[in-house]
Structure 1
Amino acid sequence: MYNLANSWKSLDKFLKTDQEILFFYEKIHNLYQQSSLVPAEKDLFSAFELCDSDNLKVIILGQEPYPKKRDAHGLAFSSNSEKIPSSLRNIYKSIKTSYPEIELNHHNLSAWAKQGVLLLNTILTIEEAKSSSHFNIGWERWTDKVLRYLNDNYDNLIVVLWGNYSKKYEQHFDQNKHYILSGFHPSPLSARRGFFDYEWFLLINQQLEKLNKTPIDWSIK
């Protein structure tokens, strides 16, 4: 049985009231025994381990893990590899546009999570080297419940939705309660079509300041 981090006990309890989620957890655990999945099972819910529920300010919604074990560690867009993934490279370019002097020394985004940024993929697992292999196995129901819980139990979240896949989750959030930022995905295929038209990370911090919340230090040291 999987458990979210202690600060997320209320969400954990909410999820486990759904019998289908319990069956799904068992299914995922069995798949880990049978196949090579990414991320490692110990990192499955890293987004919740590193982002404290009481400090949640920003949600950045990704699609699925990177297909290589060297990259994926449970945080959307974050990588443990020395080689930067292409989407993260474009994210860093966007940050540099707003903060030219910022240090971005590696590719692990845990520092953001610890400041209240939930880096959440909507599909939390895939088979190694097989993109899209875990669509329609049950993560959609899990994500649906998580996002509806976050909408109902928080106010003034900043929700970042990049790309058409993430944007379909916009309907889960009450725009009278939360601030939605949506646009093109940072992947090389779509970034040139509009991702760089917005200073995403400056916009996030400007909104946090309006809410009298501490801005995010986007540096990676």
Structure 2
Amino acid sequence: MDSTPGLFELRSPDPWDARQVQALAVLRSDPLSLMAPDWAAALAPQENTLLSLGKMLSKEYDAGTRFLPPPTRVLRALGTPLANVRVLIVGQDPYPTPGHSVGLAFAVDGATRPLPRSLNNIFKELQSDLGIAPSPHGDLSAWANQGVLLLNRVLTVAPGAAGSHRRRGWETVTESVISALAARNQPLVSVLWGKDAQRLAPLLAGTAVIESAHPSPLSASRGFFGSKPFSRINELLRTQGSAEIDWALPLI
């Protein structure tokens, strides 16, 4: 896919304008068209679930409720072709703070301050692991552009209500995403932070998996700090004959 701003890229974090309403209509009627073509083919068996989710989101909008991330970014992670993914990092659900969620797990818009605490902890571990100074921003697009799939387990949430869209169908979709990745005969390293993500390990049997505590402030000190995920990812990629990820984020 090209780098021209499109349905997967916005210049502001959460503008509910005509473009968002149009994207919501597509989520409701043709969600596969919002993905890279190879993802659309892999997830075709989930089309009915995706259509149901689009209708659910439309009902919330019609009732005067917003959801996060905005419609143009709900399927943003799947804009990177399936064939290009080399690393999978699994999150839980989007940040429930308006303006924070951008469709990539753990990421925020480049202008967002302060950064979420989990993301700060990720940057602290990155510095401890590889000596890369913490980024002043939380735009992780540079990781995604190298084939790091930052996938939340659930792809939408109601503002201010963490976990509010769980058990609506997203889990079935994201399990299919993960199964499609594991079924390829291509380099792949998966990172499962926390118990929720670790429940997905059986879907990744036979592939390289890194597990640790979640970077949340509630659990980071119980096994996330010191786990060295970034150097371990690069080492595993090398053993699979793939290039390393450059984890340093450019200034924006």
Query: Do these two structures clear the TM 0.5 threshold for a shared fold by scoring above it?
Result: yes
1:39–1:73: 8 Å Cα contact kept in structure 2? yes
- Summarize deviations over 1:174-209 as a string: whole Å, max 9, x none: 22xx10001100000000111113111011111112
Secondary structure, aligned partner of 1:181: strand
| Aligned residue runs from structure 1 range 73-152, under 5 A | 73-80=102-109, 81-102=112-133, 104-152=135-183
Q: Which has the higher contact order (CA 8 A, sep 6+)?
A: 1
Shift of the alpha carbon at 1:103? 6.1
Q: What is residue 26 of structure 1 aligned with on the other side?
A: 55
2:82–2:181: 8 Å Cα contact kept in structure 1?
A: no
Residue 20 of structure 1: CA displacement? 3.6
* Bigger mean CA deviation after superposition, 205-214 or 94-103: 94-103
Cα distance in 2 for residues equivalent to 1:154 and 1:71: 35
Contact 1:4/1:48 (8 A) holds in 2:
no
Tell me how large the CA RMSD over aligned residues is: 1.8
Q: Deviations over 1:71-97 (max 9, x none)?
A: 100000001112110000110011001
Q: Secondary structure at the match of 2:171?
A: helix
The answer as to whether partners of 1:105 and 1:220 remain within 8 angstroms in 2 is: no
Pairwise CA distance, 1:10: 3.2
- Is the 8 Å Cα contact of residues 16 and 22 (structure 1) preserved in structure 2? no
Q: Which residue of the partner structure matches residue 200 of structure 1?
A: 229
Say which of 44, 47, 52 aligns to 2:77: 47
- Identity, % of aligned pairs? 32
2: CA distance, partners of 1:58 / 1:148: 14
* Partner residue, 2:45: 17
Partner of 1:174: 205
Count of aligned pairs between the two proteins = 217
- Give deviations 1:2-44, integer Å, cap 9, x for gaps: 13556x3233134333434433333234334432101011111
Q: Distance in 2 between matches of 1:57 and 1:118?
A: 8
Deviating 4+ runs (over 6 angstroms): none
Corresponding position: 1:188 with 2:220: no
Equivalent residue, structure 1, for 2:3: none
**Residues 54 and 17 of structure 1: CA distance in aligned 2, closer, same or farther (over 3 Å):** closer
Task: Tell me if structure 2 keeps the 8 A contact 1:208–1:215.
Answer: yes
Q: Distance in 1 between matches of 2:43 and 2:228?
A: 35
What secondary structure is seen at the aligned counterpart in 2 of 1:182? strand
| TM-score (structure 1 length as normaliser) | 0.91
Distance 1:54 1:145, change over 3 A: closer
Gaps of 5+ in 1: none
CA change 1:20–1:48 in 2 (3 A) is closer
Range moving further from structure 2, 58-67 or 136-145: 136-145
Which residue of 2 is the match for residue 36 of structure 1? 66
Output the CA distance in 1 between the equivalents of 2:70 and 2:50: 20
Letter in 2 for 1:36: R
Counterpart contact for 2:187–2:242, Cα < 8 Å = no
* Distance in structure 2 (CA, Å) of the matches to 1:161 and 1:77: 13
Distance in 2 (alpha carbons) for counterparts of 1:54 and 1:174: 19
CA distance in 2, matches of 1:45, 1:131: 19
Supply the distance in 2 between the matched residues of 1:77 and 1:188 (Cα, whole angstroms): 13
Q: If the length of structure 2 is used for normalisation, what is the TM-score?
A: 0.80
Name structure 2 gaps, 5 residues minimum. Answer: 1-29
